[in-house]
Amino acid sequence: MSIKIALLGCGTVGTQVARLLSEKNALLSARAGADLELIGIAVSNLAAERDPAIDRALITTDAAGLIEQADVVIELIGGIEPPRTLIRHALESGASVVTGNKALLAEHGPELYDLAKEKKVDLYYEAAVAGAVPVVYAVRESLAGDSVKAIKGILNGTTNYILDEMTTKGLTFDEVLATAQELGYAEADPTADVDGFDAAAKIAILASLAFHKRVSLADVDVEGIRSITDADIEAATKNGYVIKLVATATQAGGKIETRVAPSLVPVSHPLASIGGSFNAVVIEAESADRLMFYGRGAGGAPTASAVLSDVVAAAAKKVLGGRAPQEIVLGESEFMDAGESVSRYFVRLQVADRVGVLAEVTDAFAEAGVSISAVNQEVDGQPGLAALAITTHAASAADMAATIEAVGKISDVHEVVRVFRVEDE
């Protein structure tokens, strides 16, 4: 028996998938229980240069025609269109689909899950979240007998590389971004990465899986890292933290909260030690307690590993019958109001360097109902000014916003420089 595979897209990941399908074919076929045959690779430009590993006889621009011959379709084009139309065509044609397209799933996942269920085929997407890190499998299958309470992670390698270089080498955001682009870690247009949208799409997918509710990209509160300065990094370090772009999904009292934001992570936290372009995900479950997954979150070969894992699984289902785990939706999604979100906070202020200012500031915090756990004061470096770094106990976002508004009205407060959330240890 032969399982015919169509590959849509031949970029960095697609090239590695094609190469590994050829080089490891005997092993992959044995695991699938049938010969895995790559029947074609759909591209938009026949004349483009290709890796020598690509058999040019397989290249075609007829994606629709290729899909109609396939048992399993791998979509690695990226973006919303044409992938959405092509995946729909594949599912309607009776092919199972493997995709790494987090943006598409975060926006149109429910439509595609429903179509796959209707056509009795499978839709796999391990590569859409955290590259080679098998976190989708863990949430969807390994924790099927448990209840997930929270997921927190570093889900974007580009931003983690940038923040890590800023922290360890004292470089500016712009300097590291330029290097990241030269090394291929960041795209020429880094918006999706540095503004947090890539991580937001991934946490939306994980939240949907973990909580059995439908969560889209629009449901995620997103803040990126463009505004992070060397002064922020220095202040975090002095107070025992590192800055990480943390994606969070929690469910409490039936309400879901999803966000992506640069946060202060205590040096003792598992996420604090994640360096370079690596990804890591911490899952809190009722029975399993804390689980951590760590590995390469991007790159051709690591992502291809996740793709091929799904290909083997999809092919095995074609051979042996049965279905992959299906999407479960337990009622309507209810989301936490932004003001209800509870967290510890770290606030940096620039104030007049005179007696009594600290008392005014702490009084403003107290009047707003926000408790302070630590205060550090240093010479600001500018004549007549001092720098305050205040860490709070847990407070609601609404109370914190009221506090910052009140503090900003104090005449001796020159500037509220920065407000960060602080992750619990």
Catalytic residues: 202
Q: Work out the number of other CB atoms within 10 angstroms of the CB of residue 425.
A: 10
Q: How many CB atoms lie within 10 A of CB 289?
A: 10
**From CA 236, how far away is CA 238, in angstroms rounded?**
6
| Side-chain half-sphere CA neighbours of 223 within 13 A | 13
Using DSSP bridges, classify how beta strands 35-42 and 2-8 pair: parallel, antiparallel or unpaired. parallel
Burial grade of 41 (CB within 10 A; 0-12, 13-18, 19 or more): buried
φ, ψ of residue 245 to 5 degrees: the values are -80, 105
User: CA–CA separation, 115 vs 204, rounded Å?
Assistant: 20
Residue ranges for the known binding site are 8-15, 102, 187
Contacts of 210 (CB under 8 A, 6+ apart): 139, 143, 148, 151, 249, 251, 283
Which string of DSSP letters, residue by residue, matches 179-223?
HHHHHTSS-SS-HHHHTSHHHHHHHHHHHHHHHTS---GGGSEE-
| CA-closest candidate to residue 413, choices 362, 371, 345 | 362
Q: What is d(CA 238, CA 378) in angstroms, rounded to the nearest whole number? A: 11
Q: Do 122 and 320 meet the contact criterion of CB atoms below 8 Å apart?
A: no
Name the residue with tokens 């083997």: 312
